[in-house]
Amino acid sequence: MEFKDYYKILGVERNATEDDIKRAYRKLARKFHPDVNKEDGAEAKFKEIGEANDVLSDPEKRAAYDQLGKDYKSGQEFRPPPDWDAGFEFSGRPGAGDFSDFFESIFGGARAERHHGRTHTTFRTRGEDHHAKILIDLQDALEGATRTITLRVPELDEGGHVLVRDKNLTVQIPKGVTEGQSIRLKGQGSPGMGGGPAGDLYLEIRFKPDQRYRVVGKDLYLDLPVAPWEAALGASVKMPTPGGAIMLKVPPGSAHGRELRVRGRGIPATPPGDLYAVLKIVWPPATNEKARQIYEEMAKELAFDPRASLGV
């Protein structure tokens, strides 16, 4: 197990005051909060910051950590000495249970005791809901799909220790989900207490980037290459859609970047989204005699100044 330098994680000096630590934590927590920062790794970083703050903001834990950690450097192989924590008393934080092995090896036992005291209840209560994110392909939302997901679930063993267990769930993703939307799996949250029903599991949907379509809400955007004469004169061109190819009418005089809407061909939500073709004018290269001749003719015959608006 690697030694974690909680001071380094929060970017504070070893002699930082409580206020310094609080400020550093708040700043990093805002930056890496998984509801704000969508980047990969933000969630792991946020947990690490939370763990560092949990230790350093608590004078008892900080004292214990300082004593234990004075001979260690970040990343160094760490082995807690036996009975090292005699003389320290910790009070755990409810709702935690997702801390690193390093944290558990130092403060784990103390946290578990607290759980012992909390399990005796005569109330019949519904289990807690769980919230997680799931990354799917756009195709899954367009057609519906069955996907197996793995969740990391903290659980208590007989000794009251917190264990993180992998839980596999096979989920039917409904057709028509959109990014940012949540889906619910009934009864897949925490078990209830005193015979109460289990909580639910909510999964927030995120899409993997798609090669062809870009997603805006329930609308899809597709870059559609057209020839200059198709854009200038108008044409019927073949374009792909999630439901199969269609013929799209390009109006005469269309400019590069013009967006043409195909109603109802977006994500099949209720009501369904639209599909937009974004025209991309592509010029044939003047690499052969015929093409060069046509370009030369255009240069000669057309009174066209593309830089007229620049006034030069």
Partner 1 sequence: MANGEREPMPAEMIGSASVYSLEELCQTCHVEVAWISELVEQGIIEPEGRSPSEWRFSSLSVVLAAKAKRFDRDLGLNPAGIALVFDLLNEIERLHARLNVLASARSSLAEQPDERPPLP
Residues interacting with partner 1, by CB under 8 A? 26, 29-30, 33, 35-36, 46, 50, 95, 125-126, 128-129, 131, 146, 148, 168-174, 176-177, 180-186, 188, 191, 198-200, 202-204, 214-217, 221, 223, 256-257, 276, 278, 280, 282
Q: How is residue 203 written in tokens?
A: 């999964």
- Return the number of the residue (223 or 297) whose C-beta is nearest partner 1: 223
- Return the number of the residue (17 or 172) whose C-beta is nearest partner 1: 172
Q: Least distance (Å) from partner 1 to the CB of residue 290?
A: 22
Distance CA 135, CA 203 (A): 10
User: What is the gyration radius of the CA atoms in the chain, in angstroms?
Assistant: 30
The maximal CA–CA distance of the chain, rounded, in angstroms, is 94
Q: Least distance (Å) from partner 1 to the CB of residue 63?
A: 25
Distance CA 170, CA 179 (A): 20
Q: Least distance (Å) from partner 1 to the CB of residue 2?
A: 25
Supply the DSSP symbol for 125.
Answer: B
- Return the number of the residue (123 or 304) whose C-beta is nearest partner 1: 123
Within the chain, how many helices (H) and strands (E) appear? 8, 11
Contacts of 291 (CB under 8 A, 6+ apart): 284, 285
- Return the number of the residue (146 or 287) whose C-beta is nearest partner 1: 146
Q: Least distance (Å) from partner 1 to the CB of residue 67?
A: 29
Q: Is 222 within 8 Å of 216 (Cβ atoms)?
A: no
- Return the number of the residue (29 or 262) whose C-beta is nearest partner 1: 29
Q: Least distance (Å) from partner 1 to the CB of residue 88?
A: 26
Q: Least distance (Å) from partner 1 to the CB of residue 26?
A: 7
Burial class (CB in 10 A: 0-12, 13-18, 19+), 203: buried
- Return the number of the residue (75 or 191) whose C-beta is nearest partner 1: 191
Distance CA 310, CA 312 (A): 6
